[in-house]
Homo-oligomer: A and B are copies of this chain.
Amino acid sequence: MAESEHAMIARLLSPLSQGLPGAFALSDDAAALAPPEGCEFVITMDTLVEGVHFLFDGSAAAAGRAAAKALAVNVSDLSAKGAEPYAYLLSLALPDGHAVWLDGFVTGLQAAQDDFALKLAGGDTVRTPGPFTVTITAIGAVPTGGMLRRSGARPGDILMVSGCIGDAHLGLVLDRSERRATGWRVAIGDDGVTGLLARNRTPTPRRQLIPALRAYATATLDVSDGLAIDASRMAAASGVGVEIDLASLPLSRACAALVAIGEVRIEELVTGGDDYEILAAVAPADEAAFVAAAGHAGLLLTSIGGIAAETGLRITGANGQPMQLDSLGWDHFA
């Protein structure tokens, strides 16, 4: 009977809970979890839908990438909030045909949780007549009262972003448009194309930035829907305004090459989304120490603008002139 399949999935997932006693090897109906001494939990939840948040060809490899992405976007949230990853719960809504790729999903998930240093605590598995849907609830730990907020930015703070902006968006464009990819391949080479695709398919949460964020940032969030809209959200939550200078935007070599030859407009990069970099405000006096701490952790931080008293978002184009965006960023309901 079908119970055997349910049991089979539980058997596949159970090893992912190893080393987390409160998960009871996924053999009970719930997990029992307490934050480490002096800490509280930071909890976030994100759903990824096949065809909306990830492309899926039904292969084991694509399933593994979907698993890694689902965990990564949650760990990105935890990292931006200054929380060390601790555990997660996983709910899978599986369409028919999952027998082909479920092993690949679990393999990808195991690799991702090893990378991100958290363990599976529980969850649910159901059948769906719709697309493959993955929901993860991720749990991290911060010193009590220490969750970093969107709302702490102050006028005069410098706005900084980790890594490079725009690659993941260009990776999505490549994944969706063979025609455009062909043109780009000439400009940036196979390696460039592969790099952009990877940045969309397997985001890298910036966990190593947590100590620097805790020490210096006044406000933080991760860039998921687009730099422009996410910066606006930080400003709105803080009751301030934000200014972004597009000439300062940190771009990868491939991305910069595509901008230079006019294949990509720079505005596209700040409205694209899926970067999973961290946006942080920092007091000018702390900027040097913040950059040094991030560098020590192997991560580039770039100043891309600042916080102002006057509310709203103001963007300066690469030509030094104020510019308007057609839309602020990607939205799940766009």
Q: Which residues of B contact A46 (CB under 8 A)?
A: 91, 124
A129 surroundings in chain B (CB, below 8 A): 49, 51-52, 130-131
Report yes or no: B2 in contact with A333, Cβ–Cβ below 8 A.
Answer: yes
List the 5 shortest-distance A-B pairs measured between CB atoms, nearest first. A130-B130, A34-B40, A30-B44, A32-B147, A137-B137
Q: Which residues of B contact A122 (CB under 8 A)?
A: 43-45
Interface residues of A in 1-51 (CB under 8 A from B): 1-3, 5-6, 22, 24, 27-35, 40-49, 51
Does the CB pair B150–A29 fall under 8 Å? yes
CB of A118 within 8 A of chain B? no
Q: Is A200 an interface residue (CB 8 A)?
A: no
**A285 CB-CB contact with B under 8 Å:** no
- With A and B bound together, what is the CA distance between A20 and B91 in angstroms? 25
Bits for A151-164, please: 1 = Cβ < 8 Å to B, else 0: 10000000000000
A78 lies within 8 A of chain B by Cβ: yes
Query: What does the 1/0 interface line of A204-239 toward B look like (CB < 8 Å)?
Result: 000000000000000001100000010000000100
Give the residues in chain B near A130, CB-CB below 8 Å.
49, 128-131, 133
Does A331 belong to the interface (CB within 8 Å)?
yes
B residues near A332, Cβ cutoff 8 Å: 6, 125-127
Q: Is the interface of A mostly helix, strand, loop or mixed?
A: mixed
A328 interface contact, C-beta 8 A = yes
Tell me the number of copies of this protein: 2
Where the two chains meet, the residues of A that have a C-beta atom closer than 8 Å to any C-beta of B are: 1-3, 5-6, 22, 24, 27-35, 40-49, 51-53, 77-78, 80-81, 83, 89-91, 93, 121-131, 133, 135, 137, 139-140, 142, 144-145, 147, 149-151, 221-222, 229, 237, 327-329, 331-334
In whole angstroms, how far apart are the Cα atoms of A83 and B33 in the complex? Answer: 12
Min CB gap A180→B, angstroms: 23
Residues of B within 8 A of A1 (CB): 327-328, 331, 334
